[in-house]
Structure formats: C-alpha cells, structure tokens
Amino acid sequence: MIEGFIALYIFMLAAFTGYEVISRVPVILHTPLMSGSNFVHGIVLVGAMVAMGHAETTLEQVVGFIGVVLGAGNAVGGYVVTERMLEMFKSSKGGN
Amino acid sequence: MGTVIQASYFLAAFLFIIGLKRMSSPVTARGGIIWAGLGMLLATLVTFAYPGMHNYPLMLVAIFVGSVLAWVSGKRVAMTGMPQMIALYNGMGGGAAGAIAAVELAKVAGGRADLDVVTMTLAVLGGLIGSVSFSGSMIAFAKLQGLIKKSLVFPGQQLLNLAIFAAILGVGGYIVLGEPLGLPVALFFGAALVFGILMTLPIGGADMPVVISLYNALTGLAVAFEGFVLNNAAMIIAGTVVGSAGTLLTQLMAKAMNRSLANVLFSGFGTTTAGGEEAVEGSLKPIEATDAAIMMAYAQKVIIVPGYGMAVAQAQHKIWELAEQLRKRDVMVKFAIHPVAGRMPGHMNVLLAEAGVPYDLIFDLDEINPEFPQADVALVIGANDVVNPIARSDPSSPIYGMPILDVDKARNTIVIKRGAGKGFAGIENHLFYADNTRMLYGDGQKMAGELIQGMKQL
C-alpha cells in the first residue's frame, strides 16, 4: 500500500519531472511530444485490466471491458501516430 | 503484489520518463518513443500476472479489439489528420480512466469494497476529469474531422455549464461522504459526460490546439488519481508527468496566442464578431504565377510562411519542391512557423518534416522575425491571422497583442490564397492590401506546382 504522504511525495516529484522534461523543448517538437505524452498516459490500460480482472457483476464487467478497449486504443494509437511523426524528422546534414 | 510486478512497473515508469526526455530533442526523438513503447509493453505483460484476477478471455478480446482499431486508424490517417487522431486517442484514455472509477465505485455501491475518504475523493475526481476529457475530446475530434461544423453558442450557456458543474460536485460529494448507491454514481458519470460536451461545443476551431493539449493534461491527471485508487505507482508517476508536462504545453500555446486559458475556454472565440474595425486602405493586387516565379528566382533570400491552408491543400510536398528549386539557384530559403499556425502546436513542422524539409531550415517566431527586413520575398501560403499586422496596431481588434510573424516588413510579399475570404478570427488582413503585397489566387498545391513550372522555364 502506498501510504498517504508517500503518494503525495511521488505526486510532487513526478509533477516537477514532467515540467523539467518539457521545459526546453523546441516548438518543432510540440505536436510529436503532445502525441508522445498522450501515449504515456496509455498506461491507463494497466489500470483498466486490473479493474476488469476484479470485476464481479455483469455491469462491472461491461464497464471494465469498455475501459480495456479504450485503454488499449489509447496506448496503441498513441504509439502508432507518435512513431509515424517522429520517423520523419531528419536534418539536412544527413543522418539522424 | 509480487516483487517482479513491482520491479517491472518501476522500470516502466523509468522508461517513460527517459522516453519523454529523448522525445524533447529532434536528434534523439525517434529513439524516445521506442523506449517508452518498451515500458508500456513490459507493464502490460506483467499485469496479466496480477494476483486475484479473472475474466482473462474477455480481457484479451478487449485488448485485441482496442489495439486493432487504433492500429489500423493510426496507420491510415494522413499527416494532415494527426490533430484529430491525437484528440481521439486521448479521449479514449480519459474514457478508460472514467471506466476504472466507475468499476471501483460500483464495487463500493454494491458493498463489496470499502475505500477511505481520501481514496473515494480521488476516485470520484479522477472519474469526473476522465469523463469530461473523454466526451470533450470526442467533440474536438468531431469538430476537426468536420463532422460538427458550427460552434454552439446560446445565451446563458456559461450559467448552464456552471449549474451542471455545481450539480456534479454536489453529487460527487454525496458519493464520497454519504451512501454511494447505484443511482447517484450513474447520475454523476452521465452529468460529467454531458458537461464535457457542453464545455467543448462553443470553442472555435482556431482554439482546438489549446483544448486538445488541455484534455491531454487532464487525462494524465485522471490516470494519476485512478493509479492512487488502484495502488499502482506506475500509473501515478506516468499520469502526473503527463499532467504537468501537458499543463506547461497548454500554457505555452495559450501564451503564443496572447490569450489566457480562461479566455480560450469561456469566450467562444472565432464566433464573436469584431466591432469597430478600421477601414482598410489600398487594394488587393493579384499576380500571375509566372511573374511570382521570376520574383522569387532572382531573390537572394526567401522566407516561406505556411499556415493551415497548406495543410488543407496538402501542399507541403510541392512547397518543398519549390524550395529545392530555389536552393538550386542559390537562393537562401527559410521556413517561418508561427507557434499556433495550423491546428496544433508544431502542426506545420510535422507536415514539412513529412515532405522532407530538414528541421534546421525551420525557424520559429523569435528566431525569424528580425530577418524579415532582409528578405526579398516572403511567401505566405494559407496563413492569415498569424501574419496580420493589425495585431500590432489596432487595440480594438480581437487579435490585438498576439505576436505575429513580421511578414509585412519583407521587401515583397506573395500570398497564396484560395479567395478573398477572411481568416479564422473573421477580420480583414491589412497585409493583403499593402503596397508591396501581391495575391496569387488558387489552391496551394496547384499554385506551388505552377511556381515550380515557371521557375523551370526561366
């Protein structure tokens, strides 16, 4: 169990991390990065799987099922479009 | 929970952060998404070993259905359609967070689980944010896809939204503190979905980048809250990192438009009519493609300014071909990108990258503005409000104060445009009437083709 204050510390440190990681990003990467961060919150798939795995009533199973479909869509779709966008970046000096 | 699962989640969180860090530099960006992808794969696989789970066959079906739909749509969409796809996938993530909250609350309502007040509060908040992000993103998707053409604005709209929001908070408070029975929970999620729709409908197309970015950040936050409910540190960390990074990105975008976030969300921009407009002096002066080609071919420095019109006309390949022709003639070519050109921040960069334009020829507003006075020709293609000098001169204009590209300071300006219409903000562009501006009317792709032809014949 993640105790209250530990969770708060994790929350705070992660918030600063997100801010720092993004703060010096050039404009040219804004769209791919938005797409990339969209992919990262696809981790919600894991949570949806756990929720569905512990669902008991039919209603819970149905909602859990929808959750897993949506979560998988977020993760896979986010990856595909980000990868496609980043694949195109190259410099005029050749190479990557 | 097993040590292996915990260690895997830890590694996944680490890979996400490293991946995002690498994605924030053009040199390492391509590797970044692969690192993050490995983290996701690892986290998903070990979750199958999570203790006490059942429903595996259905779960595999759900993963298969969601993955295949997203994979196929993501592979098929054209680069110009990227913004709405990001909105769509982001909405799905928000919906998943909402679904987690719904399942957990349904368990509590059925008396099969007992959560403390803090956990209940976060479950409810995560459910609210996730649901709003879900329905709001779907509206954003529908608007960008052209399924919804009009912005819905009616008197008392904000009062109604406020009332619904207050009702949601009231019911949410009741669920946390009182008896969380089935009906309030259903009512809560229904109202949250409706709120997301009503919230997004009045927002105009020009503001969609900011809105998508905001919903992206909100989904991250919802994921973090549900991660706390499920006691999953990987979700807390990944969700929070995206929440804060997305908030920063949203602020950067709103700032680039010189507007506050509140202004974007509550003013119904793009639908308001501009009052007290200055009369425009001068006239629109058309030019033929062959003349424009000569002008550019004998220039020393040409700055190309793309806008949403280039995306609509799918003209990015032709534009790069044109730039290559110019470079062959030793003309210095640079691309100038306004932060909010297009429908997403960096939308133009992605399209130019698709066409093969090296990123070191692409400059943003602050870098390129001092160079316009030395440019012989500025070629504007499908951009309007972001080059309108009225943003500097007329305080009564709705775009007053927005930083613009100083195209009017170039020696000559050529504007490729479909017709004499106005931009998103619905205001006249004084640049088009300036003495040294020539209008090249037509579809962006076709006109770029004619410019290339004209240049080859010289």
Answer with the residue of higher pLDDT: A53 or B182: A53
Q: Do A91 and B359 touch (CB under 8 A)?
A: yes
With an 8 Å Cβ cutoff, are B220 and A41 in contact? yes
Which tens digits make up the pLDDT trace of B289-326? 888 999 999 999 999 999 888 888 889 999 999 999 99
- DSSP reduced 3-state for B145: coil
Q: How far is A58 from chain B (nearest CA, A)?
A: 11
pLDDT confidence band for B270 (50 / 70 / 90): very low
Rounded to 5 degrees, φ, ψ at B363 are -125, 150
pLDDT at B249: 85
**Distance in Å, alpha carbon of A67 to nearest chain B alpha carbon:** 4
CA–CA dist B458, B452 (Å, integer): 10
Cα distance from A14 to chain B (closest Cα, Å)? 5
* Burial group, residue B216, by CB count within 10 angstroms (0-12, 13-18, 19+): buried
Determine the distance from the C-alpha atom of residue B377 to the mean position of all C-alpha atoms in its chain, rounded to a whole number: 30
Contacts B244 to A, Cβ<8 Å: 14-19
Q: Are B47 and A49 in contact (CB < 8 Å)? A: yes
Using a CB-CB cut-off of 8 Å, the residues of chain A touching B58 are 52, 61, 65
Q: Do B112 and A42 touch (CB under 8 A)?
A: no
Q: How far is B256 from chain A (nearest CA, A)?
A: 11
Q: Alpha carbon A37 to chain centroid distance? A: 5
Q: A56 contacts in B (CB within 8 Å)?
A: 107, 110, 112
* 3-state SS class at B287: coil
Q: Which of A72-76, B204-208, B270-274 has the lowest mean pLDDT?
A: B270-274
In this prediction the ipTM stands at 0.92
- 8 Å CB contact between A10 and B326: no
Cβ <8 Å between B71 and A42: no
Q: Which of B207, B385, B406, B408 is catalytic?
A: B385
In this prediction, residue B421 carries a pLDDT of 64
Segment B151-162 mean pLDDT? 83
Put simply, the answer to whether A1 touches B249 (Cβ < 8 Å) is no
Q: What is the pLDDT of residue B227?
A: 95
Lowest mean pLDDT among B121-125, B371-375, B394-398: B394-398
Q: For the residues B368-379, what does the mean pLDDT come to?
A: 93
Nearest C-alpha of chain A: how many angstroms from B167? 23
Selected residue with higher pLDDT from B360 and A4:
B360
How much is the pLDDT for B271?
43
pLDDT score at B150: 75
List the one residue out of B20, B374, B111, B402 whose CA is nearest residue A20: B20
Residues B334-346: what's their mean pLDDT?
A: 81
Contact B89/A10, CB-based, under 8 Å? no
Q: What pLDDT shows up at residue A26?
A: 75
Residues of A in contact with B43 (CB under 8 A): 43, 46
DSSP assignment letter at B286? B
Measured between beta carbons, the chain B residues lying within 8 angstroms of A88 are: 350, 353-354, 356
CB contact under 8 A, B236 and A2: yes
Residue in this structure with the two tokens 């995306």, named with its chain if needed: B311
Which positions in chain A touch B103 (Cβ < 8 Å)?
51-52, 54-55, 60, 63-64, 67
Taking 90 as the threshold, does the pLDDT of residue B280 lie above it? Answer: no
A–B CB contacts, 8 A cutoff, strictly below: 390
Whether A1 and B231 lie within 8 Å, measured CB to CB: yes
pLDDT digits (tens, 9 = 90+) for A47-61: 999 999 999 999 999
CA B447 to chain CA mean position, Å? 28
Per-residue pLDDT for B142 more than 60?
yes
Q: Which residue has the tokens 């969609």?
A: B208
Compute the distance between CA of residue B230 and CA of residue B224 in angstroms, rounded to an integer. 10
B385 is catalytic: yes
Q: Is pLDDT at A93 greater than 50 in this prediction?
A: no
The mean pLDDT of chain B is 88
CB-based contact, A59 to chain B, within 8 Å: yes
**Among B44, B58, B70, whose Cβ lies nearest the Cβ of A80?**
B70
Residue B278 per-residue DSSP state: P
Mean pLDDT of B334-340: 87
* Contact predicate A31/B346, CB 8 Å: yes
pLDDT score at A91: 56
Task: Please give the Cα distance from A29 to A40 (Å, whole number).
Answer: 16
